[in-house]
Amino acid sequence: MKIKGIEFIEFISEREIQEKIAELATQINEAYAGKTPVFLPVLNGSFMFAADLLKHITIPCRVSFVKISSYEGMISTGQLKTVIGLEESLFKQDVLVVEDIVDTGLTLEKIVSGLTGLGVNSVEVITLLRKKPAREKKVNVRFAGFDIEDEFVLGYGLDYDGLGRNYRQLFKAVGHDGPPPATGNPQSF
């Protein structure tokens, strides 16, 4: 599959993703038994993961979305911008931030430090994908789905320049060591 001139191949199937999500949900149901956590999916990337994960959550819970962007094209700009903020009080709540992918951990750092200032009872993080830089930096993630290399991925909610979120499996860019170039040619999808 080619998106904006970059070749992508499938590397995690729909079945593998769904099996992993069921495992993660079991861990959460056990870890939060007797509590009513607030799930905080980070838009846009985590919308599919959050939807599938929440279908397996059997304990009482709330869901509230936040939106933060740190990427333009394929290279992190390092500039974080909150687009949609919190709409309900998280005071004394057990918050579970739901991420699609943790790369440098910058996004999480910003979210977690912001939440801590709101007087929450606890903040933990669940992510479907965790890249190598996050592991090297020991970014605090309680529940991680797949540990991957420092490679650019899309599908299952994740995009490249806005494209590719709609696939039910995950793809990775081929022919690049580390992150691919910041912009591809504006070719057809």
Report the residue number, 29 or 176, with the smaller CB distance to ligand IMP: 176
Handedness of CA 116, 121, 126, 132 (dihedral sign): positive
Q: How far is the CB of 22 from ligand IMP (least distance, A)?
A: 22
152 lies in the site for ligand IMP, by CB under 6 A: yes
Using alpha carbons, select from 180, 185, 150 the residue that is nearest to residue 3. Answer: 185
100 lies in the site for ligand IMP, by CB under 6 A: yes
Q: Using H for helix, E for strand and C for coil, what is the string for 138-188?
A: CCCCCEEEEECCCCCEEECCECECCECCCCCCEEEECCCCCCCCCCCCCCC
Per 3-state DSSP, the chain is made up of helix, strand and coil in percentages (nearest 5) of 20, 35, 40
Binding mask 2-41 for ligand IMP (x = CB under 6 A): ----------------------------------------
The span of 7-15, 18-26, 84-92, 94-102 binding ligand IMP (CB under 6 A) equals 94-102
* Contact pick of 48, 66, 95, 102 for ligand IMP (by CB under 6 A): 102
Interface ranges with ligand IMP (CB under 6 A): 42, 45, 70-71, 76, 99-107, 152-154, 158
